[in-house]
Amino acid sequence: MRKLEVILRFLGDLQEAQKVAVKMAFFAARKCRREDFSAAEWEEFIDCYQQLITLDYSLRGLKRQLADWCPVDGAKKVKI
Residue type, 61: G
pTM: 0.71
> First and final CA of the chain: distance in angstroms?
22
| pLDDT tens profile 1-24 | 588 888 898 899 899 999 999 999
| pLDDT tens profile 36-68 | 999 999 999 999 999 999 999 988 988 888 887
C-alpha to C-alpha distance for 77 and 56, rounded to whole angstroms:
18
Burial zone of 16 (CB within 10 Å; 0-12 exposed, 13-18 middle, 19+ buried): middle
How is the chain split into domains, by residue range? 2-67
- Give Dmax over CA atoms of the chain in angstroms: 51
